[in-house]
Amino acid sequence: GCALACPGRSSRSSANDRDALRGRTMLALRGVAQRGIRAIRGAATRVVTSAASHPHAQLDVDAHAVATLTLQRPERKNALGRQMLGEMRQALQRLQDSTACEVRAVLIRSAVPGIFCAGADLKERKEMSEAEAAAFVTDLRKMMAEVAALPMPTVALVEGLALGGGAELALAADVRVACAARAVFAFPEVNLGIIPGAGGTQRLPRLVGLAAAKEIILSARRVAAPEAAALGLVQRCVALDTQADSADNSSPSSGAAERAAMELTNSIASAAPLAIRAAKAAIDEGYHVLTGPNKQGELSLAMQVEERHYATLLPTSDRVEALNAFAEKRPPVFKGM
């Protein structure tokens, strides 16, 4: 009996051992898998947190309904890469969707000392295929057009280098305020085997004239703020005027230029918001009538554009409020209605 019983016990023992081993193995594998999942989740969280905590472009709106779009990629001199481009287009969509009272003016500026924007990220560009580069430039061109098409006025505060795509970004704004001692504009593309591809060849001639635009783009030379103002590229060229101002690029702002830009945007924001948007639209549409494909565009057509936009303001409460405030000798309270 024992001869028969012992093998049976051994078989049951072996089976139990195998089951125990299998169980321990499964537990070990499960532990490895869980640790792997936690590691992956942790890595993903770090990536998301890193991207979220270090945006390349940030949009803020203050109590005066002035939005500030800040470029903040110091390690690459605010170069326009995929992340910054994506974040800027998201911000522009938010601005496009805002009401006349939610956002009345936009300030585009840099948080990086001595730099507005160095243009396209050439390190990223070097890794792109020809098709990828073409798609990126198309998206960049769309982003510039989105800046220009915003319904509210836009002001670019340039306190450092604005090169290539950075200069094109400044051109896409309605008005440029520049620090006389710091701001520099240039289109170096011809030295890189390309041309300005995000509006530079079209917007620059409309601001400075055909011959001046050709000279600047074809020579790829740098244009300092005072000359840019003389050419019409810059509307307000602000000199350093206090001891607090710094010309050594040690801080993002030169003080005086920032104050001038904020005064301008606050002044715009204090006006009737619907009137501000209508005025911008009328100027843009009428100008394009006179400078579009038909070089002999009639002034009468442009005047019709102005008349149409003016007519949209006649029934507004803001117009009535302005008249009442004038009669009552008080500041008007505009509500965008």
Residues with active-site annotation: 120, 165, 168, 189
Q: 3-class SS at 242? A: coil
With tokens 């038909």, the residue in question is: 294
With tokens 């522009």, the residue in question is: 92
- 160's tokens: 């450092």
Q: What are the DSSP calls for 54-80, one per residue? A: S-SEEEEE-TTSEEEEEE--GGGTT-B
Longest dimension (CA), the chain: 121
Contacts of 306 (CB under 8 A, 6+ apart): 282, 286
Q: What are the DSSP calls for 140-184, one per residue? A: HHHHHHHHHT-SS-EEEEE-SEEETHHHHHHHHSSEEEEETTT-E
With tokens 């003080």, the residue in question is: 255
Which parts of the chain fold into alpha helices (H)? 2-53, 82-97, 122-126, 130-148, 165-172, 200-208, 210-219, 225-231, 256-270, 273-291, 299-311, 317-328
